[in-house]
Amino acid sequence: MSTLDAPERGAAALAGPAPRILVIQAPYYREVVEGMLRGARRVLADVKASVEVVEVAGGYELPAALAMALKVPGRWDGFLLLGCVVKGETDHYTFICEAICHGVMEISTRSGAAIGFGLLTVDTLAQAEARSRDDRMNKGAEAAHAVLGQVALARRWGLAG
């Protein structure tokens, strides 16, 4: 396996009931994000997760939507964030990517919520398309594995249903 290959992953070992996952997606690059969602759905189907999908205007809105969702107690076991930011000719890309990542990390560490973070930050649309294909490099699938791992950990420690 080269350093660019994603690891092979099987279904998560998840005790308890099927997880309830909220997917918050920013479909500015709709085909890319829909490809990531397809990858995530395949992973989540392996554990019979119930999946609810909501859309926000863009990546910048992902942290705020996550914060709002966390105010609805007990509805979801985990949260999957999907989006894509492609570098342009200005510094806007840097500011947006840093704000999104910082916002999600701050919410994650403060809340302890099970979160899978699938935000592509790429130089070109071709790079994003390569990471949203129906193969093992799909970053939506990787983020789904991450959220399931976090749900499993929370359950192991008695922090979640």
**Tens digit of each residue's pLDDT (9 = 90 or more) over 48-64:** 999 999 999 999 999 99
Q: Higher confidence at residue 147 or residue 9? A: 147
Give pLDDT, residue 55.
98
Q: 109-119, pLDDT tens digit by residue?
A: 999 999 999 99
pLDDT at 9 over 80: no
Alpha carbon of residue 60 to chain centroid: 14
Residue 42, marked binder: no
Q: Is 92 a catalytic residue?
A: yes
In CATH, 20-156 is 3.30.460.10: no
* Given 48, 92, 110, 156, the catalytic residue: 92
| Tokens representing residue 106 in the block | 């701050």
How much is the pTM? 0.92
Residue 85, marked binder: yes
Residue 20, marked binder: no
pLDDT at 38 over 50: yes
Q: How confident is the model at residue 1 (pLDDT cuts 50, 70, 90)?
A: very low
Residue 28, marked binder: yes
Alpha carbon of residue 67 to chain centroid: 14
Give pLDDT, residue 3.
44
Distances (CA, A) of 123 to 74, 84, 86, 110: 38, 11, 6, 31
